């Protein structure tokens, strides 16, 4: 059931954020602006996006001081 909800969300939101983790300085700016709580700082080293929660709004991309976030069309979905 819950999985079905997630799949519906993915179909509805065609895009998702992708972070270049090797360049991330773990500043947390993206975490603070994400309306879905989709970003987590892992081990204080880099930021990671939860694809199931991301709606592709792009707020994190705007907030990132290092400009290392892209918003891309999800794979394996209708465009």
Q: Does 28 interact with ligand SF4 (rule: CB under 6 A)? A: yes
Burial class (CB in 10 A: 0-12, 13-18, 19+), 26: middle
Closer of 14 and 29 to ligand SF4 (Cβ): 29
Distance of alpha carbon 64 from alpha carbon 39, whole angstroms: 12
Q: Does 25 interact with ligand SF4 (rule: CB under 6 A)? A: yes
How many residues touch ligand SF4 under the rule CB under 6 A: the total is 29
Q: Which of 19, 42, 43, 77 binds ligand SF4 (CB under 6 A)?
A: 19
- Other beta carbons less than 10 A from residue 37's beta carbon: 9
- Other beta carbons less than 10 A from residue 16's beta carbon: 22
Q: Which of 58, 72, 73, 77 binds ligand SF4 (CB under 6 A)?
A: 58
- Name the residue with tokens 């081990």: 43
Q: Which of 38, 45, 72, 79 binds ligand SF4 (CB under 6 A)?
A: 38
């Amino acid at each position: 059931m819950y999985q079905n909800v997630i799949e519906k969300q993915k179909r509805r939101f065609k895009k998702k954020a992708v972070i270049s983790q090797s360049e991330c300085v773990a500043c947390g700016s993206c975490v603070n602006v994400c309306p879905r709580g989709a970003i987590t700082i892992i081990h204080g080293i880099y930021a990671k996006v939860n694809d199931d929660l991301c709606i592709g709004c792009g707020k994190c991309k705007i907030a990132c001081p290092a400009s290392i976030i892209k918003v891309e069309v999800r794979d394996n979905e209708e465009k």
